[in-house]
Structure formats: C-alpha cells, structure tokens
Structure 1
Amino acid sequence: MLNPLLKAQLAQFNLAEGQAPDDDTWRALLAQISQTYGQRAAEQDRLQAVLDNVADAIITFDEHGRIEWFNRAAEQMFGYSAAEVIGAHLELLLPDPHRYRIEQDALALQTDKQDNRADIVSIRNEIAGQRKDGTLFPLDFTISQMMVQGERQFIAIARDITIRKEAEMAILAAKEAAEAANQAKSQFLANTSHEIRTPLNAIVGLTSLLLDTELTPDQQTFVEIARRSSSTLLTILNDILDLSRIEAHQLSLEPRPYHLATNINEVLTLLRPNAAEKELQLTATFAPDMPQVFIGDGDRLRQVVVNLVSNAIKFTHAGLVAVQVDGRYLDPATYEIHLAVQDTGIGLPPDYREWLFQPFHRGHAGRSRRYSGAGLGLTISQRLVELMGGRIWAESEAGKGSTFHVSIPSPVTEQPLPTALTLERVRPFDPDMARQLPLRILVAEDNATNQKVMVWMLEHLGYRPDVAANGLEVLAALQTHTYDVILMDLHMPEMDGRQATQSIRAMLPATAQPWIIAVTADVLHESRQDYLADGLNDFLSKPLQAEMLITALCRYPVVRARSAAQTWPINRVMLNQITGGDSGRLLELMHIFQNESDQLLARLQTAVAADDLETARQMAHTLKGSCATMGIVSLEPLFREIETMARNRDQYIAAKVTQAIAEYDRVLLALRNG
C-alpha cells in the first residue's frame, strides 16, 4: 500500500501501482522523490524553527490527552524538555480541576465536528499551569482541533499571564483603596456636616424667629446680618457636600413633572432683594411658543439657575441681570431648553475662562478678597447640567458683562401638575397655618437647643407640639397619644430615630401609622436612601428653615387627600345657566376659556418675573373677570388677591401666582370631568 505522496509521484510518470519502471524511468523517479522529500524536510525545518521561536507555548496532544509535540517556548515555560513530556499525559502540565476543564473543551470540539457543525472553532480559558518544580502560574490557554492522516489531534497555545494578573491585582487593590478612601471621606463629611449643622440649626432658626418679633432698627440690622452670615455658611457647606457627592457618583437625579417658568420665577423672587440692594433690574423672558411642563429634576435645575443668577448679581454693580428662556423641539416628545443668564457686570478676560468651571477657583487674589464664596457654584452647575445630559458655556468680555448659557434636552408632558394644597411659598410663620392644616405633631429631638427651635417654629405656625428626647420616649408617647406627624431626629441616645421608626411600624396598625419626617444633619445621599428604606416618609436636613418645615408638613398625605376633596371649584348652577345645559356649548366655552387663560397666565408670569407689576395687575384683573363670568369660584378670589398684591408691590406675589396656576390646573381637570 503506497502512501499518497508516492502515488502522486508514480502518476507523474504514467505508472500504475505494481507496474515496474525501466531503468531511466526508475532513476528519474528516484531523483524526483528525493527532491520532493528534500523540499518537505526543508519546509518542516523552517516550520520547526518558526514554532521554536514564537513567544507562546505550542503543545499538541491526541484525543486521549497524550502529548505529541512541545515547542521550545513550552520547554521554557514549564521547565520540561520536549523529550520529558512527549508521550506523557496532560496532567503533568495541568493540575486538577484545570485539566478537567481542558478535557471538557476538547470533548466539546469533538462533538461539534461529529455533528458536522462549525460553531466552535477554538475554545479559550484562563486556567492554572504547573511547572516542573511544582509551582502554579496563570495561563491563557486556547485549544483547537485538527485531523492528521485520519487521526484527531488537538493543538494548544498557552501564554503565561502572570504579569497581566499581577497588574490586574494591583489595579483592583488601588481601586479598593480609592473606594475605601472615598468612603472615609464621605463618612468624614457626614460627621463634620452633622457637627456643623447642629449649632447652625439653632442660629438659623433663632434668627428667623427673632426677625418675626418687634425689633428696633439697630436690632433688626444686627439680626439680619447674623441671618445672612449663617445662610452664607450653610450655602458653602451645601456646596462642599454636593461636590463631594457628585465626585463620588452618589448624587442622582429625581425626574418628575415640573413647571419651568414657575421654577425660574421663584428663583427671581428669592434673589430679587439681593438685586434691589444694588439697584439692579432683574428680569426673565420666556419664548411664547415653548412648552410649560417638563419631566426632569426641577429642583436641581433651579439650583443651577440660582447659582448663575447669584453670580451675575454678585459681579454686577449697575445695570441688569436678565434670564432668557427659549429652545427647540428635538422630536415631538423632547424639547431642548436653552437658558441664558446675561449681566452687565465686570466680565471676564480670556485667560480666566480656562479655570471658570474648576472647583475653588475665584480668579486673582484681589478678586477673591472682594467677592465672597467658596468658588464652587459654577463647578456644581456644570456637573449637574452634565448629569442632565446637557452642556453649559460662557461668553464674556472684560468690562462688558457675561452671558452664561445652559442647554438641556428634556421630555415634555401635557399632564397637569398635582394640585395638592401648597404652602411652600406662604409667608414664614403664618400663625393661621395650623387652622388650615390641623395636625397633631410630636418633636423627637435630644438636643435641648434644637428642641426649643423646632417647638418655637411650630408654635409660630399655630401648632402646640409635644416633645420626646429619644426613641423610647417616642414609643411611650404613642401609648397614650395619637400623632399625625413625628419630626424624628435620627441621632438620639438610648434608641435612635431609625430604631424608633422600625418599632413604630411594627407595633401600630396601618390605619394608625404616623407620617414620620426624618430630621438630621447627616445629609449625604447614601444616608438619605438608607433612612427612607427604613420606613421614614420624608427627609429634612438641618439647619431647619421655616420654608422647609412648611413644605414637609404640606406633603402629609391627609393634607393631599383633603386638598383633592375640596369643594367643587365651579358654580354648576351658573355654568348651566350660561350653557343652557348643552354639553356642546360647554365644550366650546371650555376651549375658549382655556386658550385665553393660557395666554393671560403666561403674560402674568412674565410680567411678575420682570417686576412689571402694572402689567401683572392688568392680567390678573382680566383673569378675575373671566373666572367670575364662568362661575369659577376657586380662582376668582385668587386673581383678585394677585391684582391687589400687584398694586401694593407685595414681594410674595410670585408665590400667589404659583398657587393660582396649581388651582387653574385643578379647574381644567374638573371641567374635563364634567
């Protein structure tokens, strides 16, 4: 039986197997065969030289795991000579269970070929190899199969990945060390924040209470300075904490529907006294055709606008600060909001722009001394805008002012905002609040000063709260009294706020559960999430401010239920007289009312934002008349009050407009539902 190579040589001389060649043919045949085998030997030598000089180990073995070939790199890697391993089993090089994995890979390759599938070309694994001296080392091990003269063989390429694994371990160790350091920083900030906020809570609370009393002009000035100083300290503290949370990737956005114009108008209302001190004009204009309600984190966007407008006021000595709002639709459901905050201030030279959004940079020393602040506002604004998927940039020229631009893509919605009873912007310490929101309140606070501040705040709102100094006293109070709301300090002796909350949730039936509001100086995001997961309903950070407290009380669910169940906002009898009971006429009238009112409300908001109170008065007067004609009994008095506030230049007019818009949405819903 001739091998295939010899058969091919005989065929070249037209000789069949078994046929004897003549002498000349025989000599030529032998010469040809010698030349062919010589070429094959040279090719094999070249192949051997190549394989012996590659960096990776190359090993071949049969289907029983016996080694058949072992290149020079394999000898250097494992410490065996080829003579020592050829014919030996793979277990010499691969200890259990790694050898078992390779045998399973080989079996998978065999099965694939037997099924006439080509899905598995090769299989790669990271396993451990064993050197001649018994040491183990990591391997990148790839096997594939081949058929040689009808016999199945496997070829393995092995690479020593010790250096790579050491590098990976070093990177992992560095990552863990960085995470530990970051965790330590977060804990340090949490502890420091708690220690600073506890006395700051007393300062802010007591100065606010003092300002609500009869004071001489000098006393009024002194208390106002103390209040502003404590507010500045609180702003710096919040900025440092926000930046830390952003850098630690612990700050997340909370998207929900919000009214953009309302947000911006509230910012201007908040900052208008600062602008008035410098006799600056503070205005806002809105594109007439842009949507009104967006889905996003309205609170964080408001924080960005506060930072930009505050900076503009700070660096402007004469002229104006103007907020311009417009944008464009990216698609039917997404609008790109564009905010521009323009000032006529000192401006920035070109070399300042490279550090503009860097933390703690405030320019040269003279500028830093002249203008207060930690230099974090723009940095935080940039990070927040980027979290929202947008961008922020500045245009400025020294001596000619600056314009800061913000562009944010945001989903839009036509869904009206929730119409809960809203007191976020009522006058601080309105003694009538307890009558509007009758609540039984328990204050759980161990610090005597903080106890007094919280009790006095609540008393100025018309409440008469009870007090507990720790969690055990809270549980004891609940044995004899029923409370709607518990203001729960989270760090108390004997039993802390979290433990007390868990006990309350376990011992009281669902119908008797109080609304528990956490009050703490620990404001890091991870703490907030942990506390809310422990059964707390809401969260307030120290130092406690009147507006924050009022807002939290207004979120009490019974208040929302009471708001939803308020009396019908429309005089049905008058409406039926107007329409004659015709549903078609009612629908037509509703469309006319809504179209006209939407335009008037937009002009009212713009006028209030621009401090154009005469135009605001005219818009409120027109809206008041429309509501009276339609028999909308809940809106007409609100617009009458806004008209009066505009005439008297009342500083709380923006809050009343916000309340009117919320009620307007409720009226539209009532009209649609008949």
Structure 2
Amino acid sequence: MNPPKRVQWIIAAFVGVFVGTVLAAAIALVNSSEREALDAARQRAEHFIASAEASLNRTLLGIDVMLAGTDLLLKPHLLPNGTHDVTGLQSQLRTTISQNLLVRDLVLMRPDGTVLAGAQPDSARLGLPLPPGFVASAMALPSPQLVISPPLVNFVTAERMVYFARPVDLGGGSRVLAVAEVPAALVASLLSQAADIEGMVATLERDDGVLLVSVPPHDALVGQRLPLPLGDETPSGHAQRAPARIGGAPALVAVRPVLYRPLLIAASIPIDAALEDVHEQRRFVIAAALLFALMVTGAGAFAHWHLGRLAQARAELDRSKTMLDHALASMADGMLLCDASDRVVVWNPRFLAIYPWLKDVIAPGVPFERLVLVGVNALLPDAAPEDQQGWVQRRMAIHRTEDGRFEQTLPDNRVIHAIERHTPDGGVITVYHDVTATERALERAKAEAEAANKAKSRFLASMSHEIRTPLNAVLGMNGLMLTTALTPEQRRYAELIRSSGQTLLTLINDILDLSKVEAGRMELEIVEFDPLATVNEVVSLLAVRAEAKGLALQMSSAPGLPPRLRGDPSRLRQVLFNLIGNALKFTSEGRVDVELTHRPLPGRRVELMISVSDTGIGIDAETLPRLFRHFSQGDSSTARRHGGSGLGLAISQEIIELMGGRIEVQSTPGVGSSFSVSLPLEVLQPAEESPQADGSPGPEPAQSQPARRILVAEDNGVNQILIKAMLDHLGHYSDVVADGFEAVRQVQAANYDLVLMDIQMPGMDGVAATRAIRTLPNSVSHIPIVAMTANAMVEERAAYLAAGMNDHVAKPLDLGRLAAVIQRVS
C-alpha cells in the first residue's frame, strides 16, 4: 500500500528544499563567473581597440602628410614650358619612399588615370590596379583629402596592396593624384597584437563595410563587403553584444573610428571564447551540485521505495490480470481452467460462445462436474438417463487423465476438438477448438486460390491475344516490307523493327511458359529426333548474330553419338537458344563454343551432355545463387547494358528438370562462363520407327504449292490487309469477311479450299462459326478450317481442335509457317 500522504509530503518537501538550495547556489556561482569573464573580455577588447587606433592614426597621418607634401617636393622639377622632368620626379619619389618603410611605391597619376611618374619602374610602365572610377572620384573631391582603396592584388608582386591617394598641385596648373602603395600585410601588422588575445578577431574596414585587413587573416573576405556595415552606427569604442564582424557568431564587439573617418577598427571576441574557461568551471559546479542533489534524491527515493513496494506489487498484479484477460478474450479457441479441487478458476468468452448453455451456471468456484451435468442435458436432451449417466462418467474419466483428448458434435453440427492438460499445481486446463470453422476457412481459402489461378490464366490468355494481335500486324507488315525493294537505310530500319518485335514476342512466350511452370501445366512432346541436327540447327541460326558481333561460334561433338533419341526437341531448342543467345549477348570479344558429348546409362539410355562456354564478362560468386531465379539478372547494370527480362535461365532450368536432367554453371568474372546441360534420354535402334519424328520432311516450298481459294475470317482491319497480302505473296486467291456470321454464309455461297478462322470476333466468334459450318449439309461441312489465334495457351488450342478445326497457326503470323499449314490441311 502507499505510505501516508503526510509522510510523502514531508519526504518530498525535504528533498525539494535541499535540491533547490544546492541548484540555486550553483546557478548563482555560474552566473557570477560568466559576468566576470564577459567583463574581462570587454576590457581586453576596449584596450586593444584604443591601442590599435592610436597606432593606425600615427601610420595614416604619416602617409597623409607624405602625400600632402608631395607638391612641395616635386615643384622644383616643373619645366618652364609647363611640363615636368619625369626623371627628376621619379628620383624624388624614390627618395621619399626610402624614408618611409611602410610605403612600397609612390605614384603620380594624371586625371585620366595614366601614370605621370612612379618610384618603382614597373608602376610607371604597367600602372596601378586601381578600381574603376577611383582616380576620377578622388580628383573630384571639393577639398583635397585622403582616399583609401580596398585591398587589390599588385600586377608584379601578386601581393594584396592598399592604395592611399590625395590630389596635389604640381604647379603650372598641373594637378595630379599622389598614390601611396602600402602592403596589406604591413597594415595588418598594426593589428597584430590582437593575435595575443584568445579568440579575438580584429578588422580594419571602410564605413561601407568593405574589409581591408583582418587578424587573424581571412583572405577570402578581403575586399568583400561584410554584412551590417559599421558606418550606420556611432562607434564609441565600448564593447557591446553584437554579431561578430566575421562569421556572425554572438560576440563582444568594440568599434572605433580612426583619424580618417572612412576607416573603422573593430575587435570581436566570440562569447563562446570569452566563456570557455567559465564553461569548464560551470560543468564542474553543475556536476557537483547534481551529485549532491542525486544523493539527497536517492535517499528520498529509497525511503519512498520501501514504503511503496506493496503498492507497486499490487499494481503489477492488476496489470498482469488485465493482460491475461485480454489474451484470453483474443483467443480463437475456447479455454477453461480448473484448480486442483476441480473447481472453475477462469474461462474466456470463446468458451461460452461454444457452449452457450453454460452462461447461467459458470462462475469461479463452480465444480467442473456441475458443468458436465448441465452440458449432457444440452447435448443429449432425448437420451435415456442411463445413457446420460454413462456420458458423464466417460467425460469425467477423460478429464482426470494426464493427457485427455476427445471430440464432440454439437447440436448445430459443429465439431469441437478438446485437449486437456494438467498444470503443475494439480489443476486442469482445457482448450476447445472448433474444427468445423477451420475446415470452412480452408475450403474458402482453397476456393479463393482456385479462383485467383483461373483469373490469372484468363488474364494471361487475354493479354496474349491483345498483345499478339497488333504484334501480328507489325511483324507481318514488316516481313512483307523486307521482301520489297528498299534503300540500305530503309532496310536497316525495317530489320531493327523486326528484331525489336521478335524480342517482344520472345518475352511474351517466356511469361506464358513461366505461367505454365507455376501452374504445373507445362507438358513435353516426346518424339524421335536427331540430337546433332537439333543442336546444329540452333548454332546455324545464331551464327548470323555471332558474325555481326565479330565472335567465333563453333560446335564440336564427340564420336559415337547416337543418331536417334527420344525426347522433346522443341523444348531442347528453346533451352539452347537461351544459353547460346546469352553467351553471345554477354561476350564482346573472343568466342563461344558449343560441345556435344554423351555417356551410356543402364538400359537403352544415354546421358546427353551439352556445354556452352564463352569468353564474356563472367559471373561473380555472389550472383550465381540467384542466377536461375525469375526476373533476375546478375545486377541492375546488366539489364541496362544488355537488356533482357531475366526469365530465360529460370525457364530453361524448369524445362531441363521436367526432362529429368540438370543444368549447372561455372564462371569466373572477366574470364567467361560455362553452362552445362545433362539429359537422360532413350536411344532408338536404327530399325525402330516412331509415329512422330522430328526429322520428318517439311512442307514443299511455297512456290511449288498449287493456288488455292481461301476464305479469311478476321475482324481487325490491319490484319485483314496483312493476311491478304501474305496469301497473295504465296500465290493464293482470298476473300475476307469480318465475323463468324459472314463466314458461315460465305462458305455456302462460294467454293473454297480452306478457311482461315480468327478466334475472337464480334457477333459470332471463330469456335461458334466452326461448329456451325460442321453442321452444314453436303461437303461444305468438311472444308478444312485453320484457327488463326493470338491465344497461346495449350488448353485453348486443344479446344479449337475439339470444336472441329483441322489445325491452328499462331499470331504473329510467319509466312513460312502459314505456307506449311496451308499445305498440310489442304
């Protein structure tokens, strides 16, 4: 329990008074130290400014007197004709600067800015780097006075110089500007005592804010206008709080004018620098004060802790009970806890949701047997008394076992699975799980997954059709264009269009293959084939690409390779196109080698081994594990430089594994890569024949086919033009209709050798039109019908054949395939 309020207030008051006194004394001591430090810094700034002013006044007065007396020194060199003896003037100027160690050069300048004479030869020859308008403004002053320039870089010495100028009269009506060149470093030396004062920055500025010199030096700011020019204030020499002249940090700033009003001296001591020692002292004082305060506070807290332990324990118990109640309420299963005396301790809302007839009975301390007796009346209301008694005995027996498990079927046909466990103190905890709800949830999840899979298949079929339809027109028209007379530039553009279209078609096919793999619907077409001819066919087709890149593409095979094997040559070609195509893509110079070997396996089988090696960019060890993942390439830069979707290798691995083989890779970055494919295949003896042979003779060339009359059912206008042009090129006659209704009417109105039937058409689609034609009387119902489809799914093609079609040709249409299918069915 909490200590009495009066005791708490006494402890708090004692601690508060003591801590407050210690902290107040520490703050007073720190504030006093800060005031003393600031006063000392203020005095240092004011003493420095007064001393620097006196030094600068003497220097500037000496320069001004020297410039003002120039006319008396130089008048003897005035000639009778009104000109001047320049040689004498220069000699006199050199004598003058030799008597003033501060001045490097003394120059007489005409009103037009040209040099009349100078002490230094380079000044007389090159002039002075004075600001534009400097000479004119100085000569235009109503009364002669000293004019000072900003620091400027001398042409010859590359040093910063400050130029002091004053108009003088040389006699004979000649008026010139006497200019003294003083190194900025010498002017800065007059402020050098500021370097002995910690943190001080001294500046010599014009009243317009232009910085002439500073100590310590800030060369980047020399000649620049500082913010907040000092000319608008009344410089008193007293240090006041203001932004530092350089950097703008809070500082004590003292400003005094020199004898020549345009110039001002400023001394800035940053507040942080002035209080640096005080800050160290303040940390010590505050640390000591806090230590005392913590000791007193700790003593008070210790006393309060002893008095409040009981209250804290009670609060913890309440929080734990609240958390337990929330946890029990959030459980999806019912829970009942009984103590060692078999009396109810706690339950959760889900338990009463499962057994609602216990709401008026259950309470802490109620015997568990009482719940069983009420439950048997709800579960077996019509049973005989002896049956009810037997059920109660069985239930109590399960309840008393070490590991009780049972199932109940409730009146609403829900099935409840219960598990009972004994607690260490002898109690029993029972968990009731609604099995029916779980099964229903699983059924819903299964239905949703199946619906999502069907939606995905429909989406892929729809997208395949929608993309292939315009792509059919693009590639078909492009193919026809390439058969015409084109300029070299036009042919290059057309071939680029064809290459890009074929790349897009490959990507579509890869995505469809990937969807088949994920759905487990990819099937192999096992036929007899010649392995050497199959590999050589792929190498021959890709040789053009290798030659275009200047690469050597060569194939070698071991002797004794069986000439006839059983497998899926189409899928094998797909894998080889991916592997050899990738090798060419990622190799900029060198070669690509394809090697074909084999080794015998038990029975009439061999392991066919194909390796593709290149001298390309290679693959690092970190990239190899994710090389066969979907949509993955070596790194993001690979896709930018070489292109590709990252699907080829993933699909190739799926195909090889479906064939019962394996694919492996070895690679060294910068040296090259080697992909190896191993396939177990059946060997056919020379006398054996296969119903389907990959080496069957192909269709006769299009030129030798007899002309046929063909009906084309196609709703897309561009595709109508394309197909008609292709048929014209093959030497056939054709008529075009736009939907299934017209196709059914047209085959009854004229004699045709063949119908090319699009699948998706408005009104009546191609499948419905085919079924309608097959129901027509006479020989019209037997006319060959070929599906022209952009749908690439296998089950859809099977549906077309089941509807009565004789064959199919996929979009985008290829002239050779179209000729082959026409010959095959007619």
Q: TM-score, normalised by structure 2?
A: 0.48
Match 2:447 to one of 176, 197, 217: 176
- Aligned AA for 2:376? Y
1:355–1:230 CA distance, 2 compared to 1 (3 A): same
1:486-635 maps to which residues of 2 (within 5 A)? 486-508=755-777, 513-556=782-825
- Aligned AA for 2:734? P
Match 1:379 to one of 643, 650, 666: 650
Q: Structure 2 stretches of 5 or more lacking a match?
A: 1-339, 341-367, 392-405, 419-429
- Aligned AA for 1:547? G
Question: CA offset at residue 348 of structure 1?
Answer: 0.6
Question: CA offset at residue 361 of structure 1?
Answer: 1.2
Question: CA offset at residue 335 of structure 1?
Answer: 2.3
1:240–1:257 CA distance, 2 compared to 1 (3 A): same
1:317-332 maps to which residues of 2 (within 5 A)? 317-332=588-603
Question: CA offset at residue 165 of structure 1?
Answer: 4.2
Give the aligned partner of residue 485 of structure 1. Answer: 754
1:168–1:301 CA distance, 2 compared to 1 (3 A): farther
Question: CA offset at residue 477 of structure 1?
Answer: 2.4
Give the aligned partner of residue 129 of structure 1. Answer: 409
CA contact (8 A) 2:665 2:673 kept: yes
1:83–1:496 CA distance, 2 compared to 1 (3 A): closer
Question: CA offset at residue 334 of structure 1?
Answer: 2.4
- Using the alignment, how far apart are the partners of 1:78 and 1:388 within structure 2? 64
Question: CA offset at residue 269 of structure 1?
Answer: 2.2
Q: Deviations over 1:125-182 (max 9, x none)?
A: x99724xxx44332789xxxxxxxxxxxxxxxxx999544433433332222122122
Give the aligned partner of residue 344 of structure 1. Answer: 615
Match 1:310 to one of 573, 576, 581: 581
CA contact (8 A) 1:423 1:554 kept: no
- Using the alignment, how far apart are the partners of 1:533 and 1:548 within structure 2? 22
- Using the alignment, how far apart are the partners of 2:414 and 2:380 within structure 1? 22
- Aligned AA for 2:414? F
- Using the alignment, how far apart are the partners of 1:514 and 1:128 within structure 2? 66
Match 1:354 to one of 609, 612, 625: 625
Instruction: Say which SS state the counterpart of residue 376 (structure 2) adopts.
Output: coil
Question: CA offset at residue 87 of structure 1?
Answer: 5.4
**Quick check: 507-516 or 481-490, which moved more?**
507-516
- Aligned AA for 1:298? P
- Using the alignment, how far apart are the partners of 2:483 and 2:380 within structure 1? 98
Q: Deviations over 1:480-538 (max 9, x none)?
A: 43433322100112211101111222225579623322111121233222222222222
Question: CA offset at residue 77 of structure 1?
Answer: 11
- Using the alignment, how far apart are the partners of 2:582 and 2:389 within structure 1? 72
1:364–1:421 CA distance, 2 compared to 1 (3 A): closer
Instruction: Say which SS state the counterpart of residue 382 (structure 1) adopts.
Output: helix
Question: CA offset at residue 423 of structure 1?
Answer: 4.0
- Using the alignment, how far apart are the partners of 1:357 and 1:371 within structure 2? 17
1:208-357 maps to which residues of 2 (within 5 A)? 208-357=479-628
**Quick check: 351-360 or 503-512, which moved more?**
503-512
- Aligned AA for 2:798? Q
- Using the alignment, how far apart are the partners of 1:529 and 1:393 within structure 2? 35
Give the aligned partner of residue 725 of structure 2. Answer: 456
Q: Tell me if 1:388 matches 2:668.
A: no
Give the aligned partner of residue 206 of structure 1. Answer: 477
- Using the alignment, how far apart are the partners of 2:597 and 2:632 within structure 1? 30
Give the aligned partner of residue 80 of structure 1. Answer: 376
CA contact (8 A) 1:340 1:405 kept: yes
**Quick check: 483-492 or 408-417, which moved more?**
408-417
Q: Deviations over 1:342-379 (max 9, x none)?
A: 11111111111011001111222222210111111001
Give the aligned partner of residue 138 of structure 1. Answer: 415
Q: Deviations over 1:402-460 (max 9, x none)?
A: 11111222223233566898446x8xxx651424xx54432221112111111211221
**Quick check: 309-318 or 407-416, which moved more?**
407-416
CA contact (8 A) 2:415 2:434 kept: no
Instruction: Say which SS state the counterpart of residue 272 (structure 1) adopts.
Output: helix
Match 1:368 to one of 606, 626, 639: 639
- Using the alignment, how far apart are the partners of 1:358 and 1:398 within structure 2? 20
Question: CA offset at residue 540 of structure 1?
Answer: 2.0
Q: Which has the higher contact order (CA 8 A, sep 6+)?
A: 1
CA contact (8 A) 1:139 1:160 kept: no
- Using the alignment, how far apart are the partners of 1:176 and 1:223 within structure 2? 49
CA contact (8 A) 1:190 1:524 kept: yes
1:135–1:205 CA distance, 2 compared to 1 (3 A): closer
- Aligned AA for 1:343? D
Higher Rg = 2
- Using the alignment, how far apart are the partners of 1:483 and 1:161 within structure 2? 74
1:171–1:480 CA distance, 2 compared to 1 (3 A): same
Q: CA RMSD in A?
A: 3.5
CA contact (8 A) 1:324 1:339 kept: yes
CA contact (8 A) 2:666 2:673 kept: yes
Q: Deviations over 1:591-618 (max 9, x none)?
A: xxxxxxxxxxxxxxxxxxxxxxxxxxxx
CA contact (8 A) 1:245 1:525 kept: no
Instruction: Say which SS state the counterpart of residue 361 (structure 1) adopts.
Output: coil
Give the aligned partner of residue 166 of structure 1. Answer: 437
Instruction: Say which SS state the counterpart of residue 775 (structure 2) adopts.
Output: helix
CA contact (8 A) 2:710 2:753 kept: yes
1:259–1:484 CA distance, 2 compared to 1 (3 A): farther
Instruction: Say which SS state the counterpart of residue 432 (structure 1) adopts.
Output: helix
- Using the alignment, how far apart are the partners of 1:315 and 1:199 within structure 2? 31
- Using the alignment, how far apart are the partners of 1:91 and 1:529 within structure 2? 65
- Using the alignment, how far apart are the partners of 2:585 and 2:737 within structure 1? 44
Give the aligned partner of residue 598 of structure 1. Answer: none
Question: CA offset at residue 289 of structure 1?
Answer: 1.5
Q: Deviations over 1:608-647 (max 9, x none)?
A: xxxxxxxxxxxxxxxxxxxxxxxxxxxxxxxxxxxxxxxx
Question: CA offset at residue 243 of structure 1?
Answer: 0.9
- Aligned AA for 1:254? E
CA contact (8 A) 1:475 1:504 kept: yes
- Using the alignment, how far apart are the partners of 1:287 and 1:516 within structure 2? 46
CA contact (8 A) 2:417 2:433 kept: no
- Aligned AA for 2:375? G
Q: TM-score, normalised by structure 1?
A: 0.58
Instruction: Say which SS state the counterpart of residue 465 (structure 1) adopts.
Output: strand
- Aligned AA for 1:129? T
Question: CA offset at residue 76 of structure 1?
Answer: 5.2
- Using the alignment, how far apart are the partners of 2:648 and 2:371 within structure 1? 64
